[in-house]
Amino acid sequence: MSLRFTVLASGSTGNSLLVANEETKVLVDAGLSMKKIEQLMQERDVQGKELDAILITHEHSDHIKGVGALARKYDLPVYANEKTWDALNKHLGELADEKRVVLEPGEMLEFGGGSLQVESYRISHDAADPVGYCFYEGEQKLSLATDLGYVSSKVKEKLADSDALILESNHDLEMLRIGHYPWNIKRRIMGDTGHLSNDAAGEALCEIVAERTQSVYLAHLSRDHNLMDLAKLTVNNILEEGGLPAESRRVKLMDTYFDRSTPWDKLNRES
């Protein structure tokens, strides 16, 4: 058995994650146009007709832009919690009632006869009821946590023992402070319902990274207030200071992109 994934796009201009095993392919968010999502999937040898479902983290436009069009074209069920559906309905257009599926935080969803399991959990962000997701196949675990103001102890528990993790590293604090955004926007980004800084991501990883963790994808980087090399340097330095030097840890810090997908990453842990 093997669980694999590709981050199709990540950043303020649009977000989408594709998770697959032998039986199932699910999309998490579709924050770009349908045409762009289809192009990004095709680059990874996946056609829209192969998808089984779309999962929604929250209702902000950079996560839902292409959801309605994709769901209608490929007749896909869309999963979100009740509060998110209340915020989503006016943005997705016509969807059959049976395609609007409620998945509340804490619930477990199964695909492919149970070979792929998905767990939803609450995070802190300025949306109706934002969530992250954990994916399981046997003993393999992939976790997604972006668009959150801080990493609570409950979120750390959910992310623990992940083989791979997609974690927000949105901004460099100094770049944000001296940047051109109005102060009220800066305060929102830095607040408990905003976005994780590079420093916050590194500090959280000191508690989350386990011996089995293979890769951490730094995600949802700001194009105005961050650089991938800076994010990786900051996180790496904090891990070093936290007693996880690069030469002794298995985990690799991985790039994500706003305009192209990452290569397929296959989890290799035996079940």
Using DSSP bridges, classify how beta strands 16-20 and 4-9 pair: parallel, antiparallel or unpaired. antiparallel
Q: How many domains does the chain have?
A: 1
Q: Is 197 helix (H, G, I), strand (E, B) or coil?
A: strand
Model confidence band, residue 271 (pLDDT cutoffs 50, 70, 90)? very low
Q: Which structure tokens are listed for 217? A: 């994808």
Predicted confidence at residue 269, as pLDDT, reads: 56
Cα distances (Å, whole numbers) of residue 153 to 64, 136, 158, 185, 239: 28, 21, 9, 26, 18
Q: Mean pLDDT over residues 114-132, rounded?
A: 97
What CATH number should be reported for the domain holding residue 78?
A: 3.60.15.10
Nearest CA-CA partner of 115 in 17, 8, 19 = 19
In the chain, the amino acid numbered 35 is: K
Residues of the chain with pLDDT > 70, as a percent, come to 98
Q: Which structure tokens are listed for 137? A: 């196949």
In the chain, the amino acid numbered 102 is: V
The 10s digit of each residue's pLDDT in 171-228 is 999 999 999 999 999 999 999 999 999 999 999 999 999 889 999 999 999 999 999 9
Rounded to the nearest angstrom, the gap between the alpha carbon of residue 139 and the centroid of all alpha carbons in its chain is 20
Is 11's pLDDT higher than 90? yes
pTM over 0.85? The answer is: yes
Residue 46 CB partners (closer than 8 Å, separation 6+):
18, 20, 25
The 10s digit of each residue's pLDDT in 147-168 is 999 999 999 999 999 999 999 9
Q: Kindly provide the b/e burial profile for residues 226-239, where b requires at least 16 CB atoms within 10 angstroms of the residue's own CB.
A: beeebbbebbbebb
Instruction: Give the whole-angstrom CA distance, residue 40 versus residue 9.
Output: 8
Task: Look at residue 153 and tell me if it is in a domain.
Answer: yes
Predicted confidence at residue 183, as pLDDT, reads: 95
Is 138's pLDDT higher than 70? yes
Under 8 Å between Cβ of 71 and 97: no
The 10s digit of each residue's pLDDT in 18-76 is 999 999 999 999 999 999 999 999 999 999 999 999 999 999 999 999 999 999 999 99
Task: Look at residue 271 and tell me if it is in a domain.
Answer: no
Q: Mean pLDDT over residues 77-106, rounded?
A: 94
Task: Look at residue 33 and tell me if it is in a domain.
Answer: yes
Is 87's pLDDT higher than 80? yes
As to burial, measured by CB atoms within 10 angstroms (0-12 exposed, 13-18 middle, 19+ buried), residue 112 is middle
Under 8 Å between Cβ of 269 and 140: yes
Domain that holds residue 60: 4-266
Helix axes 67-74, 34-43, angle to 10 degrees: 70
Instruction: Give the whole-angstrom CA distance, residue 196 versus residue 173.
Output: 10
Of 100-109, 123-132, 220-229, 239-248, minimum mean pLDDT range: 239-248
In sequence order, the β-bridge partners of residue 253 are 216
Instruction: Give the whole-angstrom CA distance, residue 169 versus residue 166.
Output: 10
